[in-house]
Amino acid sequence: MAAEILKAEGVTKRFGALTAVGHVDYSLREHEVAGIIGSNGAGKTTLFNLLTGYFRPDEGTIRYKGRDITRATPQERVGLGMMRTFQLTATFDNLSVIDNLVLAFFRAHRRSSLLHLIFSTCRKHRAEPQIATALETFDLQSVRDRQVMHLSLGEKRRLEIAMAVLAEPEVLLLDEPLAGLAESEVKGVLDVLRRRVGRQTILLVEHKISHVKDFLQRLTVMHEGRIIADGEFEETLRHPEVRRSYWQIDPAAEGGEGSHA
Ligand SMILES: Nc1ncnc2c1ncn2[C@@H]1O[C@H](COP(=O)(O)OP(=O)(O)OP(=O)(O)O)[C@@H](O)[C@H]1O
Ligand SMILES: [Mg+2]
């Protein structure tokens, strides 16, 4: 079995009286493709923020390759090899697709400061082979010169993932990368993610599961700040507590497959 790469041990995060994540143990192995699902408010994004350093846990430890990173900032974690998808605000909406890729590439590889790049124009860096590969891999070639503000949401998501992947992270973390996408765009985003399998550890937080069932090797279900099941996809979905809490299937009644599919 592959080595553990990222691990949360007994992490808790409270917001006032609310325990958003309570004493959660969770770990990811190298090159694993894992998913976390759960209903609204289950604590998925909070756990994601704890793993990526956007929140400090009230209790517990986060480790990266055995090293305690509980107090490391998001930037320090990026430096260690973790990368979450950029929020849409991290794209430069008035620049073209290709120039966003150039900026992400150079920011990640620290070849030049962002300001220097902006003032020197991106033009001369557009020929980098990694940029060409990213355009191809993420199916952005046809929109390469389009301003980001004119992209569809699906194209923007592919760009975000491409920007994250250009940093060559060891762990790629995505919080609801499929949210708000049309059916046709979901396929495009999953296709680009599928091409990363085996190269990176991938953690995907999703609200709905029907789209990701062929993609994930492992599934974890959260409910009210706790992990209620973890393991192989179908087996996890059949877990009695998942049927009760996530699918809201009354064990006494039959049929009625909840509202999450
Ligand atoms: N910054 C915050 N301040 C106060 N409460 C918060 C904060 N972030 C999350 N919460 C609360 O913590 C709980 C867990 O929220 P979280 O966003 O982690 O859930 P989630 O599983 O990602 O839900 P969703 O599927 O809606 O994205 C919720 O009750 C939420 O209202
Ligand atoms: Mg969330």
The answer on pLDDT for 129 being more than 90 is no
Q: Which domain holds residue 24?
A: 1-81+207-261
Q: How far is CA 241 from the centre of its chain?
A: 25
252 found inside a domain? yes
Mutation test of ligand 1: which of 24, 46, 50 has the most ligand atoms closer than 8 Å to its C-beta?
46
d(CA 169, CA 189): 18
| Helices vs. strands in the chain: H and E counts, helices first | 9, 10
Q: Taking a C-beta distance cutoff of 8 angstroms, is the pair 202, 196 a contact?
A: yes
In a domain, 55, yes or no: yes
Distance 42 CA to ligand 1 centre (A): 7
Number of domains in the chain: 1
pTM for the predicted model, two decimal places:
0.87
CATH of the domain at 39: 3.40.50.300
For residue 161, tell me if it sits in a domain.
no
Q: In this predicted structure, what is the pLDDT of residue 21? A: 98
Q: Note the pLDDT tens digit of each residue in 219-230.
A: 999 999 999 999
Atom of ligand 1 nearest to the CA of 16: 4
178 located within any domain? no
